[in-house]
Amino acid sequence: LLKQKASNSKKPIPTGQTDTKKKQPLKAAKSPEVPAVNGNGSVVKAKSTNKMDNGSAKASPPLAKPESKGVTANKNFNDTKSNGKGSKEKKKNGIVVKEKHELKHKRRKAEEHVEQQPKEADIWFDDVDPKDIEAALGPEAAKIARRNLGLETEQSQSVEQVLVKEKAFEGLTRAVAMDCEMVGVGPKGEDSILARVSIVNQFGKCVYDKYVKPTEKVTDYRTAVSGIRPQNLNSGEDFKTVQKEVAEILQGRILVGHALQNDLKVLLLDHPHKKIRDTQRYKPFKQRVKSSRPSLKLLCEKLLNVQVQTAEHCSIQDAQAAMRLYTLEKKKWEAAVKNKANNKNCK
């Protein structure tokens, strides 16, 4: 199989490029001993060995059958041979050296450089805007910074993003939403008087928000629900002034809200029925949430996928939620009101 010149017959047999540990596709190790002819014409038996010395493999001389024409050697230009299993064989001075687990090594090295999530102890900035921290270190760091500074959580931020249109008009619009907070008066605090009134425009921007001085002795502040405390009412506005200002804002506008009859009652105001859009009484909303008197919290959870009124109520947020529900169905709602008015005129 190999013809060697007579002058080279006494030279040592070069080590082969096969690795006995991982068999080559030629399967030379399983084939029977192949006789080789030296320069003198005598038959020499080649001996194979399984011993490994410092990663070098000693093998029989290259006496295997020649590869077929369709098989190409898997070598690159750097004299590096790949066995197709993720490791490489490099030829140094005629000796094959195999680099094992090279892919595992690279993967391990890459994992070492994975960014670790910042811990609370690492975030100590006092006067830095959490938005800047988020841009530099990521959302986890910003969340920790907001918690340390006592700012609003990400959940409340996401609620505001849903309910309020960013960079929108901040003045009065054709439709406004109103919500009131009340406190209890009387022997058991069962009767209600106005404590706070908030009005937002069609984009959720607050256009009016005032606390009101009580006209009677408060027996139940209902803080857990209303969020009202004594100091809020002590610095509040006179009821008559608030009533007049609210009436001027509502004049000629569509009034949006949830259970608006209660808000108008404590304000001692009235509003044209055809200009009221009450989210509690809108039939399509009732059908969707399968409730005859759905709460604002339920409507927001089912239709807007946000949670409101999770703790103390905020009249601004409640007004924003009612307005967002209205704008969600504005075209259909207004069309239904128009058709209803046309049917009445026809009769």
List pLDDT tens digits, range 154-182.
454 578 888 899 889 999 999 999 999 99
Between 84 and 195, whose confidence is greater?
A: 195
pLDDT score, position 241: 96
> What pLDDT digit, counting tens, does each position of 255-280 carry?
999 999 999 999 999 999 999 999 99
pLDDT score, position 274: 92
pLDDT score, position 133: 67
Rg (CA), the chain: 42
Asked whether the beta carbons of 215 and 238 are under 8 A apart, the reply is: no
Q: Alpha carbon of 197 to those of 5, 85, 162, 218: distances in Å? A: 108, 73, 22, 17
Q: Alpha carbon of 122 to those of 36, 118, 137, 190, 342: distances in Å? A: 72, 6, 11, 51, 66
For residue 114, pLDDT over 60 is answered with no
β-bridge mates for residue 37, sequence order: 43
Structurally, at CATH architecture level, domain 172-343 sits in: 2-Layer Sandwich (3.30)
Asked whether the beta carbons of 57 and 48 are under 8 A apart, the reply is: no
pTM of the model: 0.56
Q: How confident is the model at residue 22 (pLDDT cuts 50, 70, 90)?
A: very low
Considering 28-42, 60-74, 270-284, the range whose residues carry the highest mean pLDDT is 270-284
